[in-house]
Structure 1
Amino acid sequence: MNRRPALLSAAVMAAVAAFSLSACGGGDDSKDSDKIAGADNGASTSASPSPKGSDDRVDRPEIKLPKDVKDVFEGSRTGDPKKDAVLADNARRISSVTEAVTADAGSHPALKFYSSGDALLSAANHVQGFQEKNKSFVGTTRYYDRKVTFLKDGAAAVTYCMDATKTYPKDRKTGKVDKSVPASAQDYSFYNTRLEKNADGVWQTTAVLTTTAAKRCMP
């Protein structure tokens, strides 16, 4: 059973096709798709906390997760300031989606701050899917093998893996957490994303392609 539905929509599939083929080698688990451009960039894989905001001329919305929900990002520091800035906004975007799913609030400004275009639509559909079923989740989600490739048009492609084996479904109405759900291949996903720097200097995610049960992300 998959604890966390993948962020995916038909619109995103179409929008991401062009950049994913040129930058990241596709989104399936075939042998050819394992050849990701920029994979030899030397990014660190040591665990690091979610970035707090290094470029602080930008007025960023606060992202506040419930105490029983945690996003852990590995490889946030590459030694290249530009790549680190992209990875920081990639992490903030991920946590903005986590916040929108798990935190009870009237609005979630970070979601729109870090996503635009088809990625914003994808995120909204993802959040709505949880809300319609009165579901949420608790636990720790790990993001790793995070790699940045800069594209000729000035955008960036970020690929990464997600491990949701330490998260558990939560019923919003009753607050009950189901810890009986066993880990499965569906808890490992591979993401292929496009980010574009907006006028405020924020690397917004504009397109997302997801592969669930991704073999390249499994131990």
Structure 2
Amino acid sequence: MNRSPLPAAAALAAAAALLLAGCGSSTDSSKGADKITGADQDDTNDTPPPSPSASGAAKRPTITLPSDVNNVFETWKTGDAAKDALLTDVKERVNATDAAIVAGNPDSEALEFYYKGEALADAAEWVQGYVNDGKSITGTVRFYNPDLLMVDKDTAALAYCADESKAFDKDRKSNKAEKNPVSKDSYVAYNTRVQRTAQGIWQTTSLLSDRGSAKCTP
């Protein structure tokens, strides 16, 4: 099967509700939303963490993924230092989640660093599910069409798409990947709410996922 998405939170906060429906949809300027245009260059899980000058003085955890687990972030750069720092923290949150699954560690310090509240509880439960099932992950996920709305200087809503057609669960004992044909369920739409801490860390506080969403399916 394709990688299971994180469990959907009950609801996003009002700020996330303001996001336009659909990843990468056109921005209504009357709502004050900031549409990400980005560069054409892809970013992978080798992206360095943001510098203290860009995102506060907090020391971010070092996150390492095995060679068979890759996350590619397409056009996740805006040219605006503050917004790019936010996007980098979200990318590191994604990498932290995968690293916790690979390690089988729902109590990962990196999860606690990049998640907060209900979203943290959901992420830990999701990782524990992989542990209980004796599974890990392998392959490449492509994240694309980020759509960012800055609500204020410390709060934002971010929608994006994920292509999991080349990513799979795998059995921990046999190390065998569970490969299925590509289908609409290989594509996932995400809506998230992120908040900046006093140390400048953008933490995910709410996360919704919709597998098979027409908004992200080619």
Match of 1:108 in 2: 108
Deviations, residues 134-175 of structure 1 (Å, cap 9, x unaligned): 111211111111122101473011111001100122101222
Instruction: Please give the secondary structure, in 2, of the residue aligned with 1:208.
Output: strand
Instruction: Please give the secondary structure, in 2, of the residue aligned with 1:137.
Output: strand
Q: Give the CA deviation at 1:19.
A: 2.7
User: Pick from 44, 48, 54: which aligns with 1:52?
Assistant: 48
Match of 1:13 in 2: 10
Deviations, residues 24-63 of structure 1 (Å, cap 9, x unaligned): 1468x9xxx9566636442335312333123244311111
Counterpart-to-counterpart distance in 1, 2:154 and 2:100: 29
Match runs of 1:148-187 below 5 Å: 148-152=148-152, 154-179=154-179, 181-187=180-186
From the superposition, tell whether residues 130 and 197 of structure 1 become closer, same or farther in structure 2 (CA, over 3 Å).
Answer: same
Check whether the contact 1:20–1:26 (CA below 8 A) recurs between aligned residues: no
Check whether the contact 2:169–2:177 (CA below 8 A) recurs between aligned residues: yes
Q: Give the CA deviation at 1:105.
A: 5.9
Counterpart-to-counterpart distance in 2, 1:163 and 1:189: 7
From the superposition, tell whether residues 157 and 106 of structure 1 become closer, same or farther in structure 2 (CA, over 3 Å).
Answer: closer
Partner amino acid, structure 2, of 1:114: Y
Partner amino acid, structure 1, of 2:39: S
Counterpart-to-counterpart distance in 1, 2:120 and 2:105: 18
Taking every aligned residue pair, what percent have the same amino acid on both sides?
35
Match of 1:97 in 2: 97
Counterpart-to-counterpart distance in 1, 2:189 and 2:133: 25
Match of 1:42 in 2: 37
Instruction: Please give the secondary structure, in 2, of the residue aligned with 1:149.
Output: strand
Q: Give the CA deviation at 1:107.
A: 5.2
Check whether the contact 1:195–1:206 (CA below 8 A) recurs between aligned residues: yes
Match runs of 1:69-88 below 5 Å: 69-88=69-88
Counterpart-to-counterpart distance in 1, 2:207 and 2:43: 23
Matched residue count? 209
Counterpart-to-counterpart distance in 2, 1:152 and 1:107: 31
Cα root mean square deviation, aligned: 2.4
Instruction: Give 5+ residue unaligned stretches, structure 2.
Output: none
Range moving further from structure 2, 129-138 or 106-115 = 106-115
